[in-house]
Structure 1
């Protein structure tokens, strides 16, 4: 597809999404979208036009608007990447359904992701983080942080939460990467099928030999009582497994990389470790691991003089919403002392990330402990040699060579 195409009106419509050139900055092509208008038109890979939402206030308002749908199974739901073609009718719990179905599913899981429950996990996270750093120090002084640290930390945590055998982490990490990074629907379907098959078998095993994780709670409660069927339990487990390690792994890598490239901010964190909470929020705002969210308009909606028609596609640019100068002073500056809590790194509205408390705990512990224990950590290659993921993927480096 070309970088831009011409609409019948004669205006130039830019293509979306585009790849980043810096791991923690939006694609330079997106600068053209940050105009005075909070909504601009873009063209998706299949030629469909969509409204790209870049305004912070407008984005948060629209994400709470019940006239927008998140129903991935709708035949008119917009596709951002080719790998999602041919998946009409496939329902993804929590992230790809609307109320009341979404609310029903979310209510079943909220107790497992509350602040108090996450607080009880912190000692386990700390213990595993220390163990992984011990192993890194033994292997060092040069390693790939992604495979040695960023990915194993959230993989271990989500396995513990769900009670998924951690010895299988290599399998689901590989298939997850293949699924979310697939260029074609055939590649995505193959990885999805293997993940589904693995979890289908695991649910069957747990019905015969229960454990003590969230997955076991769903089986003993909602599945046994008929509130969920077998397929729904498998799909919920799949969504939690994917979301529970892939995005957080990218967040850890991006946080480390961003801090290393902003030494004055890293020095401030070292002087005052209590800034770790602010640091995590600023990383989530600045680096935007998930770079976009997609919705379908069910009714006409007026936004700042623009009419979104029923049936229109909407794409929320998280990185641009989080860099709106109306919401943040000097938005392209990384500043761990700013108050960035109202970012949309975890989304907003009813679909705001269910696991955000868990992700925050993991990021705070993983980042704070890493720099405390390895104070001379640094990149082993120049920044422009760090390989990064494509624009249609969750953002982050595919490898992060570091040394000390």
Structure 2
């Protein structure tokens, strides 16, 4: 493999026709040239693109790289700091102040206690899907409702608000709205969360947000934290459920193995996470001059960390472009790494471990209702990769 300095200028790239699960060809080509490439941000600012597994992981664990929004050197104007509570775009100690109260509420044990409720929600979605069948859009009938109901219950969103709430979230996370529509949807979601925080402070109920009102966090901070929990717990899982189903339907031998071996479920979920890596990339800014992969990253330079190519790195994974539910190699970066590793990862795992087997048990003849090439993908401008809809059908 050549380690010559490669330059990438075409992101966000589009995926090749007929390859809905693979990273864009430009990214795969960049990784072939080496784990780090020169990159020009859309605003014309010079930066770096890191596509290799080891280098991505090392930068995520390196405190010399910052997550702070206002330090991102990607446009020709200064960005504002992240709003209070939105700790994904913060460094220590602010990041830890917001994340620490949440850690104990999203442990493996507490999330596994939710399994029975996730099973109930999944069964209800499948009941409705079966009754309305024998065809459905799997996104709206299955993939979105499950994580939406779960995260709404965790936050204490009233049942009657969930429909409009989901529409607002879709508008500012889907990557297809105009700037004006995006701002309007974001503002509407912020306003709703502000009202929700005020309601929980006045009349606490049995949910995470109500518990947090007993801390020293302000209403503005709780609003920002709620937004991060939504991003971590809703859009990512919804797209994993839909795109994961699509991938399994396109790999019938793997689906057959999952159906035949229930004990394979945990490993299958991890492999789907690696293979699809729907949270495609994140950015970090060097606080000082840092050498990465033999290249000098100057202080103030922003690097793009390509998670999906890192999880397809042939130096880390055998046959990385093959979906293999029996794969022994772990350690994917679908949930990130380091202090910002996804807080909701255990919840996402519970939902996927329940939902995939339940779906294929209920509908053993489930299949695409359109040719695979006609399944519409989300645009690459969306932060999370996925499908806009997934038409399916089954025998009755």
SS of the residue corresponding to residue 51 of structure 1 reads: strand
Tell me how far apart the structure 2 counterparts of residues 183 and 49 of structure 1 sit (CA, whole Å).
Answer: 27
Shift of 1:165: 1.4
Shift of 1:146: 0.2
Distance 2:246 2:6 in 1: 38
Q: Does 1:193 align with 2:187?
A: yes
- 2:80 is aligned to 88
Task: Within 5 Å, give how 1:6-85 maps onto structure 2.
Answer: 13-21=8-16, 22-72=19-69, 74=70, 76-79=71-74
- Tell me whether 1:101 sits opposite 2:94 in the alignment: yes
CA distance in 1, matches of 2:73, 2:311: 23
TM-superposed deviation, 1:57: 1.0
Task: Name the structure 2 match of 1:114.
Answer: 107
Distance 1:210 1:339 in 2: 45
Partner of 1:134: 127
Give the 3-state SS of the residue equivalent to 1:147 in structure 2: helix
Instruction: Pick the aligned partner of 2:362 from 333, 356, 373.
Output: 373
Measured after TM superposition, the shift of residue 12 of structure 1 is 5.5
Confirm or deny: 8 A CA contact 1:33 1:54 kept in the other structure.
yes
Distance in 1, Cα, partners of 2:376 & 2:162: 23
Deviation at 1:184, TM superposition (A): 4.8
Contact 1:23 1:395 in 2 (8 A): no
Shift of 1:16: 1.4
2:388 is aligned to 398
- 1:207-241 CA-to-partner distances (Å, cap 9, x unmatched) read 2221110000011x21xxxx211100111111112
Secondary structure of 1:113 counterpart? coil
CA contact (8 A) 1:346 1:352 kept: yes
- Going from structure 1 to structure 2, the CA distance change for 1:45 and 1:348 (only over 3 Å counts) comes to same
Unaligned runs of 5+ in 1: 1-9
Are residue 216 (structure 1) and residue 213 (structure 2) matched?
Answer: no
Q: Would you say the 8 A contact 1:17–1:44 is kept in 2?
A: no
| 2:287 pairs with 1:289 | no
**Is contact 2:264-2:326 (8 Å) kept?**
yes
Aligned counterparts of 2:237 and 2:387: Cα–Cα separation in 1: 12
Q: 2:371 aligns with which of 374, 382, 389?
A: 382
CA shift, 1:28, in A, is 2.0
**TM-score, normalisation: structure 1:** 0.91
Where 2:373 maps in the other structure, the secondary structure is helix
The residue that corresponds to 2:325 in the other structure is 336
CA distance 1:275–1:98, shift in 2 (3 Å):
same
1:286-343 Cα shifts (integer Å, max 9, x gaps): 1111110111111111122111111111111111000110100100011010034300
Structure 2 residue runs of 5 or longer lacking an equivalent are none
TM-score of the aligned structures, taking structure 2 as reference length: 0.93
SS at match of 1:99: coil
CA RMSD of aligned residues (A): 1.9
CA distance 1:351–1:359, shift in 2 (3 Å) = same
Q: Within 5 Å, which residues of 2 pair with 1:216-365?
A: 216-219=210-213, 221-222=214-215, 227-365=216-354
Contact 1:59 1:321 in 2 (8 A): yes
Distance 1:37 1:28, change over 3 A: closer
Q: Aligned to 1:95, what secondary structure does the other structure show? A: helix
Task: Specify the alignment match of 2:137 in structure 1.
Answer: 144
